[in-house]
Amino acid sequence: MNRDVSIGIDIGGTKIVAGLVTNQGEVLYKQIVPTATEGKEHIIFQLQQLINNLLKEANKLRLPTLKGIGIGTAGQIDFKKGIVRSGTSNIKYWNDIPLKQEMQRLFGFPAWIDNDVNVVALAESYLGAAKGYDNVVFLTLGTGIGGAVIQEGKLLHGEWGGAAELGHMSVDRNGPECNCGYNGCLEAYASGTGIANQMKQYLIKKPELYDGSIENITARDVFQWAYEGKQHAKSVLDDSMDALAYGTVNIIHAFNPSLLVLGGGIIDQHNWINQDLQNRVRNLGISSLVQSVSFAKAAFGDEAGVIGAAYQCFLYSKNVQKEGASYEG
């Protein structure tokens, strides 16, 4: 098999990772910079510098002509048009940016841009935990909850790329308000922020159980207290897992996947969640659907974003060639 190489860029709230990535998922070279906080022009300037550095390095390494530039970024992405529609609270002024076009104009390479969870799903699908599976759902549990769906081997984008907002699936219409404005979202129960908030609400009602500062409680505290056997924390985590199980069953009913891949910081740090979730899910919902799903942990760690971002180029550049377009320099 030929070793193709692309540029992959993972734009997160705190850092931007840019790398030269092979179609086998090797990261040959990478650079990391803290995400600019002054707005979009600054981030685009950072991308320019990073890509220039990578191009020099590719030259030094005598790599073949690069296949393109693939970008994964937090926020809502119009995949077809290649536009960042609206970012996230983590990246300031990161909205209404025709990033695909801008990258193509600046560097003459074909470029693709997608949501950060979608590109992680590509990495896992073609090179990681979901290799060989055609119908897969990905859930990442971190500060928030992200989702991505592979249907018949392809990322599910919906009309403009906004599909698979699985963290914002409500499992209780009378439940707590989520950051997104909706109620009872999975993210409001089972993300890092959600777990911390639920613990705070619990202790506000029973202040006699805690003499510290309730505002400063984090999900890490809740997990720690639960490991120490503290009942209030165990009770909050049990409720978070119950909500997560209902959300997962809803997702299985909607997509009929054969594999569910769990990733993100919370999953990495708390191994028991995968098995606990499986046990709960198998006792809920429509048996033929919930029983036909396997569970797996994401195979890639930190580099999943940059690998998946780059993988877009290997996957989609064939179509570019088919359509007769050629941006390769």
Is residue 83 part of the contact set for its own copies (CB under 8 A)? Answer: no
- Shortest Cβ distance from residue 287 to its own copies (Å)? 8
Candidates 15-23, 59-67, 122-130, 147-155 — which segment interacts with its own copies by CB under 8 A?
A: 147-155
Is residue 161 part of the contact set for its own copies (CB under 8 A)? Answer: yes
Q: Which long-range contacts (CB under 8 A, 24 or more apart) does 323-329 make?
A: 325/110, 327/68, 327/104, 327/108, 327/109, 327/110, 328/65, 328/66, 328/67, 328/68, 328/108, 328/109, 328/110, 329/65, 329/108, 329/109
Applying the rule CB under 8 A, the residues between 85 and 124 that interact with its own copies are 85-86
Is residue 168 part of the contact set for its own copies (CB under 8 A)? Answer: yes
* Residue of 90, 235, 250, 274 that binds its own copies (CB under 8 A): 250
Which tokens in the block code for residue 267?
Answer: 């999953």
Task: Measure the CA–CA gap between 115 and 119, rounded to whole angstroms.
Answer: 7
Which tokens in the block code for residue 225?
Answer: 């207290």
Is residue 160 part of the contact set for its own copies (CB under 8 A)? Answer: yes
Q: Pairing mode, if any, of strands 15-22 and 27-34? A: antiparallel
Task: Measure the CA–CA gap between 30 and 54, rounded to whole angstroms.
Answer: 8
Question: Between residues 169 and 233, which has the closer beta carbon with respect to its own copies?
Answer: 169
* Residue of 39, 64, 108, 158 that binds its own copies (CB under 8 A): 158
Applying the rule CB under 8 A, the residues between 177 and 236 that interact with its own copies are 180-184
Give the three-class secondary structure for 35: coil
Please report the DSSP string for 234-263 in residue order. Answer: HHHHHHHHHHHHHHHHHHHHHH--SEEEEE
Is residue 50 part of the contact set for its own copies (CB under 8 A)? Answer: no
Task: Measure the CA–CA gap between 202 and 218, rounded to whole angstroms.
Answer: 13
Number of residues that bind its own copies (CB under 8 A): 50
Question: Between residues 169 and 304, which has the closer beta carbon with respect to its own copies?
Answer: 169
One-letter amino acid identity for 55?
L
Candidates 39-47, 243-251, 301-309, 313-321 — which segment interacts with its own copies by CB under 8 A?
A: 243-251
Question: Between residues 70 and 167, which has the closer beta carbon with respect to its own copies?
Answer: 167
Question: Between residues 67 and 168, which has the closer beta carbon with respect to its own copies?
Answer: 168
Is residue 146 part of the contact set for its own copies (CB under 8 A)? Answer: no
* Residue of 97, 163, 203, 236 that binds its own copies (CB under 8 A): 163
Place of tokens 């009309």: 159
- Shortest Cβ distance from residue 267 to its own copies (Å)? 21
Q: Write the CB contacts of 107 (distance below 8 Å, at least 6 apart in sequence).
A: 51, 55, 69
Applying the rule CB under 8 A, the residues between 61 and 80 that interact with its own copies are 76
Task: Measure the CA–CA gap between 41 and 170, rounded to whole angstroms.
Answer: 36
- Shortest Cβ distance from residue 135 to its own copies (Å)? 4
Task: Measure the CA–CA gap between 314 and 73, rounded to whole angstroms.
Answer: 18
Question: What are the residues binding its own copies (CB under 8 A)?
Answer: 76, 85-86, 134-135, 149, 151-152, 156-166, 168-174, 180-184, 242-243, 246, 249-251, 253-258, 284-289, 292
